[in-house]
Structure 1
Amino acid sequence: MTLVVISVLILVLTIVLVTSSNPPPNIVFILADDLGWNDVGFHGSAQIPTPNLDALAYSGIILNRYYVTPICTPSRAALMTGRYPIHTGMQHAVLYGMEPRGLPLEEKLLPEYLRELGYKNHIAGKWHLGHYTRRYTPLERGFDSHVGFWTGHHHMFDHSAVETETWGLDMRRGYDVAYDLHGKYTTHVIRDEAVARIGNHSVGDPLFLYVAHAAVHSANPYDFLPAPDVTVAGLEHVEPYPRRKFAAMLSELDESVGVIVEALKVKGMLDNTIIVFSSDNGGPAEGFNSNAASNWPLRGVKNTLWEGGVRAAGFIWSPLIAESRRVSQQMIHISDWLPTLLDAAGYNVETLPKTLDGINVWKSLLNGNSTERREILHNIDDIWGSAALTVNNWKVLKGTNYK
């Protein structure tokens, strides 16, 4: 009997030691901007080729009931804090360039948690969570480097951000304007920065790489949908012309994903990496920031609380997930990524603040079981008087003027 007990103890200790010796996974979070539900191949669209996204989605887990918020800044706030925007004061609209506010400094962000585990944190691309003082910018919020832009959108060649009453260059390396990148297509800037961070990374440390694309957000009034001419020319089958320009922007994003995955493979990091892909909101097929996106067959567009505004294209891919190659019908919200990725990284999630709205779904993603989430508060905008809540298969909306 004693020998049996000892054998069991040895087996348990061996399992614990093997588990604890596994290095924390690298995490690559790729966020598209204003992508529509019907703009990607893995949702059945055959119009715009997205082979790299499709390859990851089909060999990973397609998140069929994945929800974000209806607009840019609130979604990014939810991702970084694990909280609904109504709980951080970021629920209304987007941050504009001259606004004297940002994501509250008392909020602890995802990279700050990951830093406690030894992660090296880098952001390539869009921030849009405040910059009116340096304390609100990425290098003060847990990131070790940033090449990209602080505002909500800019022109993807000249990097100028044009808003109602302001104009200025917004392509940065850390705190400084990166004048040397003028004329380089933003998607290529983001791609090359991500690849450089992977190439220069010490494989002894875990990596968190936040790839926040400008695409496929519309740009400035003088050139609404900028894309390389050669890419546009290769998509002559896409009509009308604005949709073709949009398709070229998306094709460049898709190509960048393939390059980043290849860089991880060459570095020997891919087998211990989690890749998450998400849009920040639904596509603006019309109205605010219109970019010729398609949310079919979902009702609504960006900046609305209908499904077309808040149900996003998303997936997770990783060799660490045995139960892959499937479509998940689990209800997941963008705020869930903070506790979920922290659990995957080895953080003691039991110590996370009880004020989080995000739910840890890592175990359910691993084994295919359903999550504990049964409801999602899509948003409460106390200024516009709009709100929406989903409970199981029922949804209630208040105060929307969109059909």
Structure 2
Amino acid sequence: MILLPRYLCVLLSVFVSSGVQQSAAQSRPHIILIVADDLGWDDVSFHGSDQIPTPNIDDLAYNGVILHNYYVQPICTPTRAALMTGRHPIHLGLQHDVIMGAMPSGLPLNETIFPQYFKKLGYSTHMVGKWHLGFFAWQYTPTFRGFDSFFGYYNGKEDYYDHMTLENEYMGYDLRDNVSVRHSLDGQYTTELFTTKVEDIIKQNNNQQPLFLYLAHLAVHSANPSQPLEAPDKYVKRFPHIQDKNRKMFAAMASALDDSIGNITKTLKDTGLYNNSIIVFTTDNGGPAAGFDRNYASNWPLRGIKATLWEGGVRGTGLIHSPLLEKSGIIQEGMVHVCDWLPTLYHAAGGNVSELPQNLDGVNLWDTLSMGTASPRNEILHNIDPITQTAALRVGKYKVIIGDVYKGKWDGWFKPEQVTDGIRPDHSSQDMRAAIIECGHKPSNASTNCKPTKSPCLYNIKNDPCEYNNIANMYPDILKELLSRLDEYNATAVLPWFPPDDPRADPKLHGGVWSPWVNLTTL
């Protein structure tokens, strides 16, 4: 028997251990997390839209898992906060409105977020696109919060070509590569610019390290008020059948988004990463329809729009696609919430979910999504906003809604422009695999039988997904149970962090660029 010197034994042990860790990291799946901005329920053809074909997104959906009861928050910042942390916005102080450019607010620094968790699993972490989680101090920006690289913008929107952002009274440039401003990219269409960057990141990955890639598209959010809808002519020309100029331009923007998804998927396949990748595609909220926020998305036939608590504001377009799924080509009817992605994908990446913080609101749904088992989730809190005095909660098939942000103005059912009756003008091109919502008969009092500012309304979402029939008076005991559950949630909420604009944020004071303006180290 040959005895090795002790120092050689130690070195051998370290070498073997590091080799095992490296091998484990290399076997972890690549995670591609894609967020579309303001994409409505009816803006993808896998939901039955025959106005705007989305063949690349459809391909992921039909050969993956379509999420039919998938919920997001009603607006941008809260959804992104829930996505990054696995926690509900009521527990983050981000349940009211969005973070504006000059607002000294952000996703709290005591929260661990997606890339930080995944770096512990050996991932390289990259972000492209919209941040919208605060930037008043550098510590709140992506590369200070776990991302190895960032290419994108800090605010909630920007011009698609010149990358300028108007936030209330302040205008400034907003495009960065890590922390450096990138003026040289003026004139390049943002959707294509972000796609190229993502393709470059994928190509540069040598498959020696698992990739966590977060793409938060600008599309199809409106830009600045002077030119809210923008797309290259090559996309506009795809829609001669849409005469309404606003819906036509929106369709062009959505088509560019769809091409982006197709190009990214192709790059994954060309580089050999696809077979070990998990792709998630989600919107951040319901679509801004009928000119809301100068945009022309569609949530038809759902009720309401972005920023409301009706299904059109919170029922999101979502899917998961991967060769690693045990079952694919299915429509998952179980409930899924945007905060579930963190524990779900952490588990899929080989992480131990029990090691995640116990205060997460998200649920590990990997078995549900991969194998088609029943979802363990039975309820979803849509929101509680103490400032607007609004709230909504779904438990099982029932949903309660209280208050109204816009006092009834956006409570209706908004058909996409040029659809003039209650059904689509042409079903001939509709894919039989499409996940379509059927509303049933619309009663004459659908618009008047619920006055949520006066009393809570109750709906059976399973039987009445379009929220036609307020059944609060028919089922007072069920209403009482849901209101009690809302009270329980409210008892755990923190106050909204929604300070007024700080004039020190004015880009004029920072070379015309949106930049952090508070030095936390001197406070």
TM range (shorter): over 0.9
1:375 and 2:379 equivalent?
Answer: yes
| 1:124 partner SS | strand
1:296 and 2:305 equivalent?
Answer: no
1:68 is matched with which residue? Answer: 72
1:270 is matched with which residue? Answer: 274
1:145 and 2:159 equivalent?
Answer: no
1:317 is matched with which residue? Answer: 321
1:128 to 113, 132, 157: 132
Q: Identity percentage over the alignment?
A: 53
The separation in 1 between residues aligned to 2:171 and 2:283, in whole angstroms, is: 26
1:97 and 2:101 equivalent?
Answer: yes
CA contact (8 A) 1:288 1:303 kept: no
1:81 and 2:52 equivalent?
Answer: no
1:39 and 2:53 equivalent?
Answer: no
The separation in 2 between residues aligned to 1:336 and 1:355, in whole angstroms, is: 13
TM-score of the two chains, using structure 1 as the length reference: 0.94
Shift of 1:163: 1.8
1:350 and 2:354 equivalent?
Answer: yes
Q: Aligned AA for 2:330? A: R
Which stretch shifts more, 224-233 or 340-349?
Answer: 224-233
Deviations 1:168-200 (CA, angstroms, capped at 9, x unpaired)? 011111112210111100001110110000011
1:183 is matched with which residue? Answer: 187
Shift of 1:39: 0.7
Deviations 1:67-90 (CA, angstroms, capped at 9, x unpaired)? 000000000000000010000111
CA contact (8 A) 1:159 1:171 kept: yes
Deviations 1:240-279 (CA, angstroms, capped at 9, x unpaired)? 1100000010110100111111111111000000000000
Shift of 1:132: 0.6
Change (3 A) 1:184 1:382: same
1:207 and 2:238 equivalent?
Answer: no
2:62 to 52, 58, 64: 58
The separation in 2 between residues aligned to 1:263 and 1:20, in whole angstroms, is: 24
The separation in 2 between residues aligned to 1:64 and 1:325, in whole angstroms, is: 13
2:199 is matched with which residue? Answer: 195
The number of residue pairs the alignment matches comes to: 385
CA contact (8 A) 1:121 1:143 kept: yes
Change (3 A) 1:134 1:392: same
Gap regions ≥5 residues in structure 2? 1-22, 412-523
| Divergent runs of 4+, >2 A | 19-22
2:34 is matched with which residue? Answer: 30
Deviations 1:83-107 (CA, angstroms, capped at 9, x unpaired)? 1000011111001100001000000
CA contact (8 A) 2:26 2:210 kept: no
Q: Aligned AA for 1:279? A: T
1:257 and 2:261 equivalent?
Answer: yes
1:7 is matched with which residue? Answer: none
Max Rg structure: 2
1:108 and 2:105 equivalent?
Answer: no
The separation in 2 between residues aligned to 1:345 and 1:288, in whole angstroms, is: 39
Shift of 1:234: 2.4
Deviations 1:205-240 (CA, angstroms, capped at 9, x unpaired)? 000111100000011111110111221122111231
The separation in 2 between residues aligned to 1:37 and 1:215, in whole angstroms, is: 15
2:464 is matched with which residue? Answer: none
Q: RMSD between aligned alpha carbons?
A: 1.2
Shift of 1:286: 3.6
Shift of 1:46: 1.0
| 2:302 partner SS | coil
Change (3 A) 1:83 1:219: same
Shift of 1:20: 6.5
